[in-house]
Amino acid sequence: MRPRFTFPLFSLRAFALLACVLAASAGTAPADAAESFACGPGGKANAKTGKCDCPAGKVEKTVGSTSKCTDVAVVPKVTATPTATVVPKPTATTALVKPGKCPAGMAFIPGGTFTQAGVPQTLTGFCMDVNEVTVGAYAACAVSGSCIPAWKTCVYPLWTEAQLTGCATTCNTGKADKLNHPQNCVDWNQAATYCAAMGKRLPEHAEWEWTARGEAKAHTYPWGNDEPNGQLCWSGLTTQPTTCPVGAYPSGDNPQGIHDLAGNLQEWTSTPWPSADPLRITKGGTWAATDGKPLAAKNVNADPPLNRHNALGFRCAKTL
């Protein structure tokens, strides 16, 4: 008869507990632990961490109690879309003044190079009066004491007394109905003094011609190459008895919108005539012109500095 062995109840429980501890220390897990979640294509369940070991390009994503390997979201690179700068197209009016450069009433004339009477000329940008100096503007300068009052008589050595008397009748000085007409009957010194009082100067011969020809466009006339017709104040169509209000013929403007560069008055420049005679070059045709030749931008005249008459006036320029 075999002997019976009886084990105490606590010993069986202790043995079971010891078996569990040994299993944990050996890194084992219940058989169903690795199957408790799926990691998707390419993923591997990690029984130790309870997470998915995902291959490159994938990332673990947990939804509720389920972990899976999913593709890494690719965020598209956002690049700034360049914004085009809209530059307004210049027109005859908008191109007149460059802000911060020319004073009000003056137009900016870009520089350039051209040949004048066979001589190369190179100019930098400058400002030119849009209008010939008016009777009203000159009178205001005279009243202030900064200018020599304009004359009501004419001086022209080649004219007879009768011609000088007739000339005086069309001097604009002191005539209330001519305040917006160009100032005539002023000599070279009076013109230069006025410009200096305004912080300006008389234009050079090359500057005046460059402006009247449309700079590099090399037009025959300020408005282009069409023959003179109704673009200016002159006597080529019907006899013009005297000057016209400044700017009365905008169709005769140059590309910058400068008025009366042909017709109305001939204009003083600062440039001496290239000779021993004390002459100053004058430019532009006059209200009395009857043919197109004196109206051309390249046409050149000259007057003694003391000359003053009904067909001669001026405008100012300014160095930048």
What is residue 55's predicted lDDT score, i.e. its pLDDT? 72
Angle, vertex CA 24, rays to CA 19 and CA 25, nearest 5:
100
Question: Is a pLDDT exceeding 60 seen at residue 124?
Answer: yes
Question: Is a pLDDT exceeding 70 seen at residue 4?
Answer: no
Considering only residues 19 and 276, tell me which one the structure prediction assigns the higher pLDDT. Answer: 276
First to last CA, the chain: 134
Mean pLDDT of 136-148: 98
What is residue 71's predicted lDDT score, i.e. its pLDDT? 64
* CA distances, 152 to each of 100, 177, 256 (Å): 38, 15, 33
Mean pLDDT of 166-195: 98
What is residue 29's predicted lDDT score, i.e. its pLDDT? 40
Question: Is a pLDDT exceeding 90 seen at residue 101?
Answer: no
Query: Residue 70 — very low, low, confident or very high, per pLDDT cuts 50/70/90?
Result: low
Supply the CATH classification number for the domain 106-319: 3.90.1580.10
State pLDDT tens for residues 192-212.
Answer: 999 999 999 999 999 999 999
State pLDDT tens for residues 221-262.
Answer: 999 999 999 999 999 999 999 999 999 999 999 999 999 999
Question: Is a pLDDT exceeding 60 seen at residue 30?
Answer: no
Mean pLDDT of 124-149: 98
How confident is the prediction for the chain on average, in pLDDT? 82
The kind and range of the H/E element at 206 are helix 205-212
> How many CA atoms does the CB half-sphere of 22 hold within 13 Å?
6
Query: Residue 190 — very low, low, confident or very high, per pLDDT cuts 50/70/90?
Result: very high
State pLDDT tens for residues 31-46.
Answer: 443 444 566 666 677 7
Tell me, what DSSP letter sits at residue 80? P
* CA distances, 209 to each of 10, 16, 52, 282 (Å): 124, 117, 87, 10
The domain ranges of the chain are 106-319
Instruction: Give which of 301, 276, 278 is closest to 288, Cα–Cα.
Output: 301
Mean pLDDT of 8-29: 41
Is 59 within 8 Å of 49 (Cβ atoms)? no
